[in-house]
Amino acid sequence: MNHLWTPWRMAYIKGEKKPIAGCLFCNKVNEDDDAEQVVYRSKYVYVTLNLYPYNSGHLMVVPYQHAATQEDLPVEALTDMMLTINQALAALRKVYNPPAFNLGANLGQAAGAGIAEHFHFHIVPRWPGDANFMSVVGETRVIPDTIDNSYRALKSAWQELFGNESQ
């Protein structure tokens, strides 16, 4: 028998967390960083943890501007996004020391975008064997760190590496 523990869902089950109205990413813009796991904010983008990660430390870099594709973003936002991605890589290396990363975006629902209406960029740390028998045969993904631990560690590392500077 497989057991998959998902304690973060209890608030939703108890009705303490209501379904989100509007755009999830736009809603995070004015919310508390700790409540929303926002690791960093710059002038045009912010960095947040993926609540349904592929691996520990799975980050998303999200523009403040609501746009379905990067083609709709100004060059300043695109530049800020890429510089912020570099900082995210450094913070992830400091916290988890992954030997590899998957970087990318899914444009449109057919490409696998869970939130197709608001462009965002994924940064997924990778390790040898992280797609082991549990994922391949057992159809169960093992995430060794909690979202809260990842958030605290990455926020601290970001502060240590870059202070409060924005691009």
Tell me if residue 120 is catalytic. yes
Q: Which two tokens stand for residue 78?
A: 């695109």
3-class secondary structure, 93: helix
Of 61, 57, 53, residue with least CA distance to 25: 61
Alpha carbon separation from 6 to 63, 124, 140, 146 (Å, rounded): 29, 20, 12, 10
Q: Which of 3, 66, 120, 122 is catalytic?
A: 120
Side-chain half-sphere of 35: how many Cα atoms within 13 Å?
A: 7
Q: How far apart are CA 108 and CA 25, in angstroms?
A: 16
Whether 164 and 87 have beta carbons less than 8 Å apart is answered as no
Residue 80 burial (C-beta neighbours within 10 Å; 0-12, 13-18, 19+): buried
Q: How far apart are CA 110 and CA 86, in angstroms?
A: 28
Residues identified as active-site? 120
